Chains A and B, each alone.
Chain A
Amino acid sequence: MNELAIGTKDLAKTYAGIRAVSGINLTVPRGSIYGFLGRNGAGKTTTIKMLLGLVRPTAGSALVLGMDALSEHIAILQRTAFVSEKKTLYPSLTPSELVRFSRGFYPTWSDSAVEKYARLFEIPMKQRFEQLSNGNQTKVWLLLALCQGADLLVLDEPTTALDPITVDQLMHVLAEDALDRGCTIFFSSHQLEEVERIAEYAGFIDHGKLLMEARLDDIKSEFRLITAAGSSLPAQTSSQVLSVDVEENFYRYVVTRDAEDFAAELSRNGATVASIATLGLREIFLQLVRKEQ
């Protein structure tokens, strides 16, 4: 597990009888970008809070950078930068003062990074936080996280309120600067396009359960959309067939493995297989969630 930046074992959290997270097993390799995907309320933030020691798990355990998330959480926080889902900070402080406040907590803090990212994100450093736009408030969070010199960046919905240009800049910074330093990036999002752009690994969570976790390329290669024309073709889902859409004599199958074999079987049943196409992350996510429901 020490080769992992994050490793959890049957991690679970229950609030007043409601299961927020149900025994998930995450494996985030060191030096990777991992997209943690799920709908609102899927359990992403609760999982992140357990990783950072802000919430005690009901069951299971988590190792972050090889340390126990519960008993060694201060040592973990020393090497972890966090961007919260709620982008509130001290309203009366300016970004410069927030930098001054944060700097002293981290021996690895970089002032040159502050200058670099403040310029890149065009952050008004002398304006009070409460007077900043939502987008600029998010940028301040990102600035504070990026300048920390952390080994692990945990970003909870980091692109909230950001304009497309800043999202682009952030993705570039994460993919180039942070990874160059050997930093692991674990970010939660429901913006699937962002994850698809930079993540190497992805985990899908829904209703507190981890539906799938793998390399993004492997996930994409596992799913195929088969379009076939014919009559009386099979229209039931199975462990292999995640969904079937029928429109007159056209059938659209989403299959998880052995797509070629399935297409051959359709042909044997008299169908004309029009195409076997790969799926985007968005479609895969939707299929997995629908299957779970």
Chain B
Amino acid sequence: MYFWKCWRETRVSFYVFLFIAVTLAALLWKLMDFTMSELPPKQLFALAWVILLFASGALLPLAGISFGATGISEEFAHKTAGFLLTKPRSIRYFVWTAWAANAVQFLTLTGSMMLVGTSILSWRYHAPLTGRLLLAFVPGLIMTFLIFGMTYLLAVLHKNGRDGFLSSLGGVIVFPIICLALEHFWQIHLPSPADMYPVGMSELISHPELASTLPPFWPLVGWLLVALACPFIAQLVLERTEL
């Protein structure tokens, strides 16, 4: 019911993101062959893998912020909450159903991008796929859930998806700047979702073989919990909201 309705509202965006994700993943080897064919296959594979990680790390959070702005907050913005909330289900049901409908779409997006990308790269460069390599997708996936959860919560607080989207976008841009400034000027390290990544971006580009480094466990768990806390807070907020 509500799951179907949420899917119906986001399916066009989902198909667009899926098309981009699969196309990127599928055509990556062609791009590598075209631009860096002089490199040995092992190095090409490592570099292609890093580019795939970056591409997913950019695309999936974008999907997260876009999907987070849909869901139950839009019921208030479109004045359909009076219809939905007189259905015999709890607020918890509506909040988590909308969240789950989007989560399934992210998992499908991540899975598709990962499967298509890794299969083609592995076939093209005759490189074995290891569990360690696949685990490199986990921080990106949790980051997506985090950004999605934050957007979802902000949209609920604003009771408007667009405002939630803009606030979240602001957060995504401003928070890393604050972290960098604190680190640079005062040597203060704020806990940041970047802690989930075992190797920095510039380091990974210069040493692509580091892509198989295992991500740190506790930051992953911590930020996953934060990501899950967002819809929970949204539920608590809505349970105290009057129409």
- Residues of chain A having any CB pair with chain B under 8 Å: 49, 52, 54-56, 74-75, 77-78, 80, 82, 84, 86, 88-93, 97, 100-102, 104-106
Contacts and interface: CB of A to CB of B under 8 A. Distances in A.
B86 A56 contact: no
Contacts, number: 54
Contacts of A106: 88
A56 B243 CA distance: 10
Given A101-B4, A104-B1, A105-B87, A54 B78 contact: no
14 contacts: A54-B86, A54-B242, A74-B89, A77-B86, A77-B88, A84-B86, A86-B79, A88-B78, A90-B78, A93-B8, A97-B8, A101-B4, A102-B87, A105-B88
B9 interface: yes
B82 interface: yes
Interface string B5-18: 10011000000000
B34 interface: no
B1 A105 contact: yes
Interface string B79-114: 110110111111000000000000000000000000
B242 A77 contact: no
Given A56-B242, A88-B78, A88-B80, A101 B86 contact: no
B83 A88 contact: yes
For the residues of B in contact with A, the DSSP-based class is: loop
Given A74-B89, A88-B78, A91-B78, 15 more contacts: A49-B242, A75-B88, A82-B86, A84-B82, A84-B86, A88-B83, A89-B80, A90-B5, A92-B9, A93-B8, A101-B4, A102-B87, A105-B1, A105-B88, A106-B88
Interface in B163-202: none
A146 B8 CA distance: 25
A75 B87 CA distance: 10
Contacts of B80: 88-90
Interface string B228-243: 0000000000000011
Nearest to A55: B242
B243 to A, nearest CB: 4
Which residue among B5, B78, B86, B242 has the maximum number of chain A CB atoms within 10 Å of its CB? Answer: B86
Contacts of B2: 101
Q: Which 10 A-B pairs have the closest CB atoms?
A: A77-B88, A78-B88, A104-B1, A54-B243, A84-B82, A88-B79, A82-B86, A55-B242, A105-B87, A74-B88
A159 to B, nearest CB: 18
Contacts of A54: 82, 85-86, 242-243
Contacts of A90: 5, 78, 80
Which residue among B5, B82, B87 has the maximum number of chain A CB atoms within 10 Å of its CB? Answer: B82
A271 to B, nearest CB: 54
A145 to B, nearest CB: 10
